[in-house]
Every structure is written in C-alpha cells, then in structure tokens.
Amino acid sequence: MSTVGTLVFCSDCGNLLDSVTGTDRLECEMCGTVTKDPGNKTVTTQSAPSAFPSALRLKKSAVQSLATEDIQTEAEIKQTCPECGREKMWFYTLQLRSADEGATVFYRCECGYRFNTNN
C-alpha cells in the first residue's frame, strides 16, 4: 500500500509524490516510477473535545476552571479605611522580607484605596 490518507508514496522508492499533478499519473522525481493517482480521498478530521469548548457544557462539568483574577484570595477584616471611612477592608499577606520577619499585609478598600503595613 503506497497511500496513507492524502499522502501517496512512490511504490518503488518510497518517495513522497506530489499531491496534484492534473493528470492521474504521479511520476516520482527520484526514480521515475509512475504511480496511479488514487484520486480524491475523503479525510475526516476530528478535533479534540477541548478545541471548541462549549460554555454551556462547561457549566455542567464537575471540573470548573477559574480565571486567576476570579479567585478570591483576599479576606475581610475589621479595619477602617483611612480614605472613605468604611469599616471593613479586604486584605492579603505576602512574605516579602526575610523569613524571620513578619509578613506584609496589603489592605484594599471597596473605594479602591490600597495601603500596606509591615509587622
């Protein structure tokens, strides 16, 4: 067999033959052997299920993916915003300095005001 899908190989030397020549004769440019063009073949291409994700199906799935910005990493704390006076703020901590020092606390207010403290 010298045909795999749309590929036609020279039956003699295994060289890949041109796909379209206009005639039904495919001549190998290497050894000159003439192979008959098997003609049009149907090729079915299947895309992976993940290629075109359906938003609807995704909702039903047991696995839900979240965008990084949607992940709630902040917690609420009783802290008055110095800018607008709201009594609760969001905060998260990061260990920015040496491990034997305290974490840096980043506060965020609904009004958009942000500040951080080291302790």
Partner 1 sequence: MATKKSSVAFNTLERENLFRNPPKDKSAYPALLAAVQPHIDSFNAITVDGGLLDLAREDIGIKSVFDGTNEKGSLGNKLSLRVDKIYIGKPRLSDHRDKTSLRREIFPSECRERHITYRGKLTVKLGLRINDGPWISQDRELGSIPVMVRSNRCHLENLAPYDLVEHKEESEELGGYFIVNGIEKLIRLLIVARRNHPMAIVRPSFAGRGKSYTQYGVQIRCVRPDQTSQTNVLHYLNDGNVTFRFSWRKNEYLIPVVMILKALIETNDREIFDGLLAAKDRENTFLTDRVELLLRTYKGYQLYTKKETLQHLGEKFRIVMGVASDMSDVDVGKEFLRKIVLVHLQDPRDKFRMMLFMIRKLYALVEGSCTQDNPDAVQHQEVLLGGFLYGMIIKERVEEYLESIVKEVRREVRRTTAFDFSNKEQRTRIFAKVNENIGSALEYFMSTGNLSSPSGLDLQQVSGFTVVAEKINFYRFISHFRMVHRGSFFAQLKTTTVRKLLPESWGFLCPVHTPDGSPCGLLNHLAHKCRITTTISDTSSIRKTLASLGVVSPATASLPSSATMCIQLDGCIIGWCSPKLARVVADTLRYWKVEGSHDIPLDLEIGYIPESRGGQYPGIYIFSQQARMIRPVKYLPLDKEDQIGPFEQPYMSVAVTPPEVVPGESTHVEFDPTNILSIIANMTPFSDFNQSPRNMYQCQMGKQAMGTPGTALRHRSDNKMYRLQTGQTPVVRSPLYNEYGLDNFPNGMNAIVAVISYTGYDMDDAMIMNKSAHERGFGHGTIYKTEKLGWAEEKRRGGPSSNNLFGFINQEEIEEQIDSIHEMGESTDEEKLLKKKAYQSLGIKQEWLETVDLDGLPKIGQLVKAGDAVAVYHEVPKESESRSRFPQNKVFTYKGSEDAYIEEVRLLGVEGNDNKPMQQISVKYRIPRSPNIGDKFSSRHGQKGVLSQKWPTVDMPFTESGMQPDIIINPHAFPSRMTIGMFVESLAGKAGALHGMAQDSTPFRFDEHHTAADYFGHQLKMAGYNYHGNEPMYSGITGEELHADIYIGLVYYQRLRHMVNDKYQVRTTGKISDLTHQPIKGRKKGGGIRVGEMERDSLLAHGTAFLLQDRLLNCSDYTQTWVCRECGSFLSTTPSIKKIGFESQVRCRRCAKPAAGFKAEGMVWEDGNGGQFVGGSNTTVIAVPYVLKYLDVELAAMGIAMKFNIAP
87 binds partner 1 (CB under 8 A): no
42 binds partner 1 (CB under 8 A): no
In angstroms, what is the minimal distance from the CB of 112 to partner 1? 28
In angstroms, what is the minimal distance from the CB of 11 to partner 1? 9
Candidate list 69, 70, 76, 100; residue touching partner 1; CB under 8 A: 100
Residue 38 · residue 24 · CB < 8 Å: no
Rounded CA-CA distance 117/119 in Å is 6
21 binds partner 1 (CB under 8 A): no
4 binds partner 1 (CB under 8 A): yes
75 binds partner 1 (CB under 8 A): no
Element (H, E) at 56: helix 55-60
Query: Which residue in the block uniquely carries the two structure tokens 């993916």?
Result: 65
Pairing of strands 34-36, 75-78: unpaired
